[in-house]
Amino acid sequence: MVCNVSYGGGHPDSHTYNLGIACGALGGEVLFAAHSKAVLKSNALESKNVISGNSNVYKRSLDMNQAIAEGKRLADIQKRKEEAQKRAEEEAKETAKLVGLSAIKYGDLSNQASKDYVFDVDRFTSFEGNTGPYILYTIVRIKSILNKYMENGGKVESAMIQAPVNQSEKQLMMELAKFNTSMEAAYEETAPHKVCSYIYDLANAFNHFYHETKILTEEDEAKKAGWIALLALTRDVLETCADLLGFKVPERM
């Protein structure tokens, strides 16, 4: 079998050369012509370069085993790409499911059981305001900061909360301190809307602190570690409340 392929001169490009690999893998002979003058002849037996007139003529051997190995390598790369894309699609579907469930459950439970309310899907699914997606986004933001801290060599478990250095940090600590009393009140009154009210206030306190504080770029390592410990506690409390309300938190959003 002989394959004739023309190209624009000089050395054949990668696409043209790949055609040669494919033909060689099938045991064929490949003739590459630059402007129909220069010829690259490839087979499994010989390899040498020939210069003829004004045209470059290349004669290269295509080893069957090399061609097969290259084909397997490219196929493996493509397979990994497809698997990664599939995982990303599956993760996106799972995240959308978690966000949707949080929107419905939080939207329902955030209202007092004894009162009627309007089932507003647009409001429930908003990432702003007193909604489930807003709570999830806040938790995922905290997780992202903690992950970056650990990627840079920090250890969250060894960090210790320090005395507050600004008002937003103090306010966040005060909201965290309300956890026990808020949960007791919600339990005694069978009022899950109080859990929603509490974690909304806590999420707002954290986001206020986050926007006022450069956490990961802080040069004082002790101060940074104190903030990281505060974030870890905030994450734990928010996730506990989300679990009480019956919805899970994704790793990314």
| Count of domains observed in the chain | 2
The pLDDT value given to residue 64: 63
Indicate if 41 and 146 belong to the same structural domain.
no
List of residues 6+ apart from 43 with CB closer than 8 A: 24, 28, 29, 30, 61, 62
The pLDDT value given to residue 253: 79
Q: How far is residue 224's CA from residue 169's CA, in Å, rounded to a whole number?
A: 12
Indicate if 101 and 212 belong to the same structural domain.
yes
The pLDDT value given to residue 196: 96
Token couple for 250: 């994704």
Domain assignment of residue 69, yes or no = no
Q: How far is residue 97's CA from residue 99's CA, in Å, rounded to a whole number?
A: 5
Indicate if 236 and 125 belong to the same structural domain.
yes
Angle (deg, nearest 10), helices 192-212 and 179-188: 160
Indicate if 225 and 132 belong to the same structural domain.
yes
Indicate if 19 and 139 belong to the same structural domain.
no
Indicate if 121 and 195 belong to the same structural domain.
yes
Token couple for 26: 């099938």
The pLDDT value given to residue 60: 46
Q: Are 106 and 242 in contact (CB under 8 A)?
A: no
Q: Are 40 and 60 in contact (CB under 8 A)?
A: yes
Indicate if 99 and 138 belong to the same structural domain.
yes
Look up the domain containing 143 and give its range: 86-245
The pTM for the full model equals 0.65
Q: Got the DSSP string for 178-236?
A: THHHHHHHHHHTT-HHHHHHHHHHHHHHHHHHHHH---TT-S-HHHHHHHHHHHHHHHH
List of residues 6+ apart from 66 with CB closer than 8 A: none
pLDDT mean for each 10 residues of the chain (253 residues): 48 50 49 42 40 41 66 82 83 88 91 82 89 96 96 89 94 97 95 96 98 93 95 97 93 83
Domain assignment of residue 229, yes or no = yes
The pLDDT value given to residue 141: 96
Provide the CATH number for the domain around residue 155: 1.10.730.10
Indicate if 99 and 192 belong to the same structural domain.
yes
Domain assignment of residue 67, yes or no = no
Indicate if 53 and 175 belong to the same structural domain.
no
The pLDDT value given to residue 117: 82
Q: How far is residue 216's CA from residue 149's CA, in Å, rounded to a whole number?
A: 7
Q: How far is residue 160's CA from residue 222's CA, in Å, rounded to a whole number?
A: 9
